[in-house]
Amino acid sequence: MSSGVIADPLRLYYVCPISDGAASLVLCPLEKAKKYTDKPVRIAGFGQATDVQALQERDDPTVLKSVRIAAQRAFKMAGVTPDDIDVVELHDAFEILEIAESEDIGFFEKGKGHLAVEKGTTALDGDLPINPSGGLKARGHAVGATGVAQVVELVWQLRGEAGERQVKEPKRALSCNFGGFGNNTVIHIFERGW
């Protein structure tokens, strides 16, 4: 709370560091994946959307329209709703983004995401764990690798391989990767493939 103000009310330690890093995935058809692992993870749905760059040009600067649209597309493709998701990785370059994204994805009513955090709903042992990896503050923001690192975490979660960060028996996961201030959003929904 005593760190310098970056943009009121955000302070220095509410912002993730830009860092170096790498992440990778192996993608193949599910039937081939079973040849390499007994715990394949399936991409059930994805959505992508963009919005205008300048906040002052948006209808409502508190709404992340690209997040909303990308989420709707991903849920439709996967044939699921926000209630079907067990664990989430959100792009939290600034701490406030976890709350804003969780609301615009549809996990919480607009303006109520902070209450879910306060109640422990989004904690590792909560009803909807968000960022069990620690998010970008813990991992750093290796810009090009950030979205892939989110997916790697969710694959580990769905396989039960996340160690001390393991969420209890997740079946479905969602990642939200975000560019600019919601100028470009990609959301994926993953499921256990076995």
CATH of the domain at 86: 3.40.47.10
* Amino acid (1-letter code) at residue 82: P
DSSP 75-95: HHHHT--GGG--EEEE--SBH
pLDDT: which is higher, 117 or 140: 117
C-alpha angle with apex 184: 113 to 116, nearest 5 degrees? 10
Residue 125's pLDDT band (cuts 50, 70, 90): very high
- Token pair in block for residue 86: 């067990």
| pLDDT value for 94 | 84
Does residue 7 fall inside a structural domain?
A: no
Q: Which neighbouring-strand residues pair with 175?
A: 89, 188
Number of compact structural domains in the chain: 1
| pLDDT value for 192 | 93
Does residue 5 fall inside a structural domain?
A: no
**Residue whose token pair is 């399936």:** 42
C-alpha angle with apex 53: 99 to 87, nearest 5 degrees? 30
* Terminal-to-terminal C-alpha distance of the chain: 45
pLDDT: which is higher, 186 or 1: 186
pLDDT tens-place string over residues 27-78: 999 889 988 899 999 999 999 999 998 888 988 888 999 999 999 999 999 9
Q: How far apart are CA 92 and CA 22, in angstroms?
A: 18
| pLDDT value for 74 | 98
Tell me the pTM.
0.93
Does residue 131 fall inside a structural domain?
A: yes
Does residue 4 fall inside a structural domain?
A: no
Average pLDDT of every residue of the chain: 93
Residue 185 has pLDDT above 80, yes or no: yes
Q: How far apart are CA 155 and CA 41, in angstroms?
A: 6
- Mean pLDDT, rounded, for 9-24: 84
Does residue 93 fall inside a structural domain?
A: yes
Residue 130 structural domain: 17-192
Does residue 90 fall inside a structural domain?
A: yes
- Token pair in block for residue 27: 């993608």
Does residue 11 fall inside a structural domain?
A: no
